[in-house]
Amino acid sequence: MDSLSPVIGPKLVVPLRSVRRILGPDLQPNLNRICNKNKKINGMHAENTKPRAASSAAAIDFRDRDWKSKYEDDFQARFNIPHLTDVIEDALPIPSTFCLRMRTPTQDFADGYINNNDRVLLKVINYSSPTSAGAECIDPDCTWVEQWVHRAGPREKIYFKPENVKAAIVTCGGLCPGLNDVIRQIVITLEIYGVKKIVGIPFGYRGFSDKDLSEMPLSRKVVQNVHLSGGSLLGVSRGGPSVSDIVDSMEERGINMLFVLGGNGTHAGANAIHNECRKRRLRVAVVGVPKTIDNDILLMDKTFGFDTAVEEAQRAINSAYIEAHSAYHGIGIVKLMGRSSGFIAMQASLASGQIDICLIPEVSFNLHGPHGVLRHLKYLLETKGSAVVCVAEGAGQDFLQKTNAKDASGNIVFGDIGVHLQHETKKYFKEIGIPADVKYIDPTYMIRAVRANASDGILCTVLGQNAVHGAFAGYSGITVGICNTHYVYLPIPEVISYPRVVDPNSRMWHRCLTSTRQPDFI
Ligand SMILES: Nc1ncnc2c1ncn2[C@@H]1O[C@H](COP(=O)(O)OP(=O)(O)O)[C@@H](O)[C@H]1O
Ligand SMILES: O=P(O)(O)OC[C@H]1O[C@](O)(COP(=O)(O)O)[C@@H](O)[C@@H]1O
Ligand SMILES: [Mg+2]
């Protein structure tokens, strides 16, 4: 049973409104799904009773006076990061070969190392009440609970001799601005440690099994300018071989450090590779760098490429705005990425200040009817003369015919909500006899292919460096991230147990609504 079970379990049953506040934003969507599915468990509605990997193993009884310290201990155990010595007891550390002053001994750099016991606080707001806007609470009183995670960075002791390392980098899933920046920084940092054998696996996990694809030797010289263009130097793909085939291939190639750049799916693969390596008792470090333009990885401030995507989306939104405002009764529709999370649509709407309606997967809406989107568009044409809509790709999927089609990675292929919205809008205004000039823009692949902006460039650089520090420190099955502006190592299962989504009760969504002035479409 997970740590949330006290609120939906038999020991303490609290009103639904309180549960909503208690869960916090990362868990709210579960509650929304819980409520929507309308299945009753312990007097509460629940979608399923399966414990989430991200949650603790032990139930907590809030009547227990020690529940808080038990929760904190449990949290610490969950966020412990796996280490080579967990399974290879005789793995011995050596002094780090990482040195910033290339000509002086490492001792000079002693102050620059991270202590293994350093921690970063995951949540920094102490909510005085569960009714505070956006409150994330563990218990009904919203007691302050400390949640510490491991600080990232170079360690004084390392578990790999650089001359024995063969490091590989693989990029999986869809494109995302910054992939080349991360590849570049991993290579540069590996070389500073003294690693000579660095390779790129071509076209995602597929490169491990496809005999026609050979690994790409990487060096500082090769990667020097790769960050100046978008895409991935190595190529990407979805689908690919089994985990056991991947680990066979790693053994054949002598790879003992694997850096995996990708999203939820890729990280699930990376964690499975880490587990298989453990099972085979291999001295291998598997380290992930979260790549998701949708920003749907749990616990992190943001993932690389997201900032660039929001910035690049401004061009599309501005074009839609110009088109809409230059036409008589113009309506511009922009569809942005976001399979299950509306972060790009929300942030791009906020940034532009030109959006009248923002539609995201996390917030239900009607198209038709007195409170529907179309009726509001009519109102906007009557009052403003034009309107601009920003819709996330995963929004409004209920309106579309389900095909049950899946891509090679098993992701559901969505219907095009942008095209549907355009079609329904045209039809609606034709039917009511009001002229409307509807223009639709889908900038998805134009956005994904651009190079990282300066902010993402820095994020990629730090994440790439920390990935290498983590591997040399002997950690495996971890990923790197930024939490409250500090860089951390997190165990992979904790960040991918479900996609991170926009919390409709969050301050940020409220700010978006304040900016668009859109009503509820229900
Ligand atoms: N549950 C899983 N276990 C192992 N590998 C997975 C899993 N889900 C996806 N993958 C692999 O991860 C890669 C990328 O997954 P995908 O969902 O396409 O992109 P992303 O990593 O961006 O979410 C693919 O090669 C896919 O086969
Ligand atoms: O057309 P493709 O390559 O399958 O990619 C579409 C998907 O790529 C994304 O941009 C990002 O997806 P990933 O995180 O899986 O790479 C999604 O928003 C979108 O659904
Ligand atoms: Mg995915």
* 317 assigned to some structural domain: yes
Ligand 1 and 411: CB distance under 6 A: yes
Q: What is the predicted pLDDT for the residue at 3?
A: 33
Q: What is the predicted pLDDT for the residue at 301?
A: 95
Q: What is the predicted pLDDT for the residue at 101?
A: 61
Of the listed ligands, the closest to the CA of 392 is: 2
Question: Do 284 and 360 fall into the same domain?
Answer: no
Question: Do 389 and 276 fall into the same domain?
Answer: no
Question: Do 182 and 292 fall into the same domain?
Answer: yes
* 112 assigned to some structural domain: no
Verify whether residue 210 is a known catalytic residue.
Answer: no
Q: Residue 512 is part of a domain; what is its CATH number?
A: 3.40.50.460
Calculate how far, in angstroms, residue 307's C-alpha sits from the geometric centre of ligand 1.
Answer: 23
* 30 assigned to some structural domain: no
* 166 assigned to some structural domain: yes
Q: Residue 157 is part of a domain; what is its CATH number?
A: 3.40.50.450
Of the listed ligands, the closest to the CA of 239 is: 1
The DSSP bridge pattern shows strands 40-41 and 44-45 to be antiparallel
Question: Do 284 and 165 fall into the same domain?
Answer: yes
Q: What is the predicted pLDDT for the residue at 403?
A: 83
Number of domains in the chain: 2
Question: Do 284 and 415 fall into the same domain?
Answer: no
Question: Do 317 and 434 fall into the same domain?
Answer: yes
The DSSP bridge pattern shows strands 486-491 and 148-151 to be antiparallel
Give the separation between CA 476 and CA 474, rounded to whole angstroms.
Answer: 7
* 56 assigned to some structural domain: no
Give the separation between CA 353 and CA 294, rounded to whole angstroms.
Answer: 20
Please report, in tens digits, the pLDDT of each residue of the chain (522 residues total): 233 222 222 223 223 333 333 334 443 333 333 223 322 222 222 222 223 333 443 577 899 999 999 999 999 999 999 999 999 999 999 999 997 665 555 555 556 899 999 999 999 999 999 999 889 899 999 999 999 999 999 999 999 999 999 999 999 999 999 999 999 999 999 999 999 999 999 999 999 999 999 999 999 999 999 999 999 999 999 999 999 999 999 999 999 999 999 999 999 999 999 999 999 999 999 999 999 999 999 999 999 999 999 999 999 999 999 999 999 999 999 999 999 999 999 999 999 999 999 999 999 999 999 999 999 999 999 999 999 999 999 999 999 988 889 999 999 999 999 999 999 999 999 999 999 999 999 999 999 999 999 999 999 999 999 999 999 999 999 999 999 999 999 999 999 999 999 999 999 999 999 999 999 999
Give the separation between CA 346 and CA 336, rounded to whole angstroms.
Answer: 10
Catalytic residue chosen out of the listed positions 2, 139, 181, 294: 294
Ligand 2 and 263: CB distance under 6 A: yes
8, containing H or E segment: helix 5-8
CB-based contacts of 374-377 (< 8 A; 24+ apart in sequence): 374/424, 374/425, 374/428, 376/518, 376/519, 376/521, 377/331, 377/425, 377/428, 377/436
Atom of ligand 1 nearest to the CA of 411: 17
Calculate how far, in angstroms, residue 267's C-alpha sits from the geometric centre of ligand 3.
Answer: 9
Q: What is the predicted pLDDT for the residue at 44?
A: 24
Give the separation between CA 357 and CA 335, rounded to whole angstroms.
Answer: 12
Calculate how far, in angstroms, residue 459's C-alpha sits from the geometric centre of ligand 3.
Answer: 21
Calculate how far, in angstroms, residue 266's C-alpha sits from the geometric centre of ligand 3.
Answer: 7
> 210, 213, 296, 409: which to mutate for ligand 1, most atoms within 8 A of CB?
409
Of the listed ligands, the closest to the CA of 238 is: 1
Q: What is the predicted pLDDT for the residue at 352?
A: 97
Question: Do 210 and 275 fall into the same domain?
Answer: yes
Backbone phi, then psi, for 438, in 5-degree steps? -100, 125
User: DSSP label at 449?
Assistant: T
Q: What is the predicted pLDDT for the residue at 404?
A: 87
Give the length of the chain.
522
* 7 assigned to some structural domain: no
Ligand 1 and 443: CB distance under 6 A: no
Question: Do 189 and 285 fall into the same domain?
Answer: yes
* 222 assigned to some structural domain: yes
The DSSP bridge pattern shows strands 357-359 and 387-392 to be parallel
Give the separation between CA 506 and CA 427, rounded to whole angstroms.
Answer: 34
Question: Do 435 and 361 fall into the same domain?
Answer: yes
* 163 assigned to some structural domain: yes
> 170, 171, 172: which to mutate for ligand 1, most atoms within 8 A of CB?
172
Question: Do 379 and 475 fall into the same domain?
Answer: no
Ligand 1 and 305: CB distance under 6 A: no
Q: What is the ipTM of this complex?
A: 0.97
Question: Do 327 and 423 fall into the same domain?
Answer: yes
Neighbours of 223 (CB within 10 A): 22
Domain that holds residue 278: 152-303+452-483
Question: Do 279 and 329 fall into the same domain?
Answer: no
Backbone phi, then psi, for 494, in 5-degree steps? -70, -25
> Are 300 and 358 a contacting pair, CB within 8 Å?
no
